[in-house]
Structure 1
Amino acid sequence: MSEPSFRFIAEMVHSILSYLDPPNTMLQSEDMDLLTGMQLVNSACVCVENLRSEIKFVALLERCMEKRRRTINPAFDSYIVEERIAQEDPNDEMELRRLYFSCIDSVCGEIKERFGERNCAVMGALKALDPEDADFLDASKITPLLKLTNTSVVDTEYAVANQFLRARMDDTSPPDGGRWTMAKVLKYLHQPLETMPSVITALKHALTFGASTALCENSFSTLKNVFSDHRQSMLHKRKANLIMLAFEKDLTKKFRSEWRDTVLRRFHSVAHRRLPLY
């Protein structure tokens, strides 16, 4: 841990994760919508990209290098040479430089792939289908979602549906109470919307987009190897074994700390400290 390379990697990881910590905290909030969360992640990505400069690298490298106080060697008192400079390996700095820039490029590339402009446009389309949104049924914002299924956008249908639904939702409330949602619009106002098929298609896409995305992620993503509470039940053999390992880890930890003195004192107090052989 005292090696400069270890300290450099630790400082580099800490500087990158410090920019990603606010989006991580906000995305776990119940009040955070997905579109705002993605925009927050993109803002953090810009901050990480700003780390990709020679000035930032040199400043980080200087903080991690050994700072030993140099003294004049008395053996060189009668010589012109005042001190001896040890030969430094330029490959160490070159390797750290390569690691620094490649790590930042990898992190930014992964963030842009997952939270890129295209995904933000799709999230904006889902937001525009929320009955309580200011851009409800704005055809220009819903277009990215319908392009995924090659569905044509009819502007006149969205204009008529917007006027009709807003007037209907302002005058009445859902029969089951609460606020108007996409599911309730399709459930209680499906008949008049049948004359506007492109609007019904967009609402159905918005309702199934989240579930289908989660199913595909669970089926094909590399995260399927992670046994989380939402992926597998506790009846799974590996997860059942994790419980036993957790108890054994806790007992081992106690034997090494709080129980150690008690066990040694009890063993020392026994008169015959011989292990019986059976």
Structure 2
Amino acid sequence: MEKRRRTINPAFDSYIVEERIAQEDPNDEMELRRLYFSCIDSVCGEIKERFGERNCAVTGALKALDPEDADFLDASKITPLLKLTNTSVVDTEYAVANQFLRARMDDTSPPDGGRWTMAKVLKYLHQPLEAMPSVITALKHALTFGASTALCENSFSTLKNVFSDHRQSMLHKRKANLIMLAFEKDITKKFRSEWRDTVLRRFHAVAHRRLPLY
């Protein structure tokens, strides 16, 4: 049987090779098994992280704030969401709000038509709900949860532009401050306009500045 013809890796065309170049067999069964189970482990780990007990509890809390859900304003199910912001849960407020909102939603439709949603409940029934601040807080958290999560993920992704192979010694405090600046970009934009002169003066007032910016 004729032997397989051996070839040199084209990447080494411009080099002198003095040692044996090992070429692994692409059909190596052990290597294929290793890659297969490595992919399975990565997928299972990601699924476990995304759909873990904590995340499922928060998802259940968001679901319980939907006016059409059977567990609407169930305080026990909403608690995981409020714990994220250290907001206290007042069971009596949820019981009263549940009874009040269900009666209003059964008797009337939203002024703009359609079905009742969290946004419409806050828009059209905000005044009577002011007596139940814990309920208003939960509804606001539910409405902004998705956007806030995406914004935080975007802020952490921005750190890829901060860290590099030559910049890995940043302290945690400085990194946290950079994340805060990125998160509050609507406020930090004022540094370029109305706050610019004040910031430069304060920076210049600190002793031992190497850069005289003002």
Structure 1 length-normalised TM:
0.46
Q: Aligned equivalents of 2:203 and 2:95: distance in 1?
A: 85
Q: More helix per residue: 1 or 2? A: 1
Give the deviation of 1:98 after TM superposition.
2.9
More displaced stretch, 194-203 vs 108-117: 108-117
Paired with 1:192 and 1:270, the residues of 2 have a C-alpha distance of 51
- Say what the alpha-carbon RMSD is for the aligned residues: 15.6
How many residues align structurally? Answer: 214
Aligned residue in 2 for 1:134: 70
Counterparts in 2 of 1:254 and 1:103: CA distance versus 1, 3 Å = farther
TM-superposed CA distance for 1:114, in Å, is 2.3
Tell me if the contact between 2:181 and 2:188 (Cα under 8 Å) persists in the aligned partners.
no
For residues 176 and 79 of structure 1, do their structure 2 counterparts lie closer, same or farther at Cα, with a shift above 3 Å needed?
closer
Contact 2:67-2:118 at 8 Å conserved across structures = yes
Structure 1 residue 223: Cα displacement: 12
**Which protein shows a greater Rg?**
1
Counterpart Cα distance in 2 of 1:179 and 1:230 = 55
In 1, are the aligned partners of 2:155 and 2:179 still within 8 Å (CA)?
A: no
Of 67-76 and 168-177, more deviation after overlay is shown by 67-76
Give the CA deviation at 1:240.
Answer: 34
Quick one: structure 1 residues 84 and 134, their matched pair in 2 at CA, closer, same or farther if it must change by over 3 Å? same
Partners of 2:92 and 2:210 in 1: CA distance: 93
Report if the CA contact (8 A) 1:76-1:83 is conserved.
Answer: no
Q: Greater CA deviation, 119-128 or 73-82? A: 73-82
Percent identity, aligned pairs only, is 98
Structure 2 counterpart SS, 1:105: helix
Conservation of the 8 A alpha-carbon contact between 1:193 and 1:199: yes
CA distance in 1, matches of 2:203, 2:29: 55
Contact 1:234–1:240, Cα closer than 8 Å, also in 2? no
Following the alignment from structure 1 to structure 2, what is the Cα–Cα distance between the partners of residues 106 and 179? 41
Q: How far is the alpha carbon of 1:73 from its aligned partner?
A: 35
- Structure 1 pair 265–123 and aligned structure 2 pair: CA distance change class (3 A): closer
Match of 1:277 in 2: 213
Distance across 2 between alignment mates of 1:126 and 1:273: 50
- Which 10-residue stretch deviates more, 207-216 or 245-254? 245-254
Q: CA deviation at 1:257?
A: 57
Matched-pair contact (CA < 8 Å) for 2:204–2:213: no
For residue 246 of structure 1, report the CA deviation from its aligned partner: 34
TM-score, L = length of structure 2: 0.58
Unaligned runs of 5+ in 2: none
The separation in 2 between residues aligned to 1:156 and 1:79, in whole angstroms, is 78
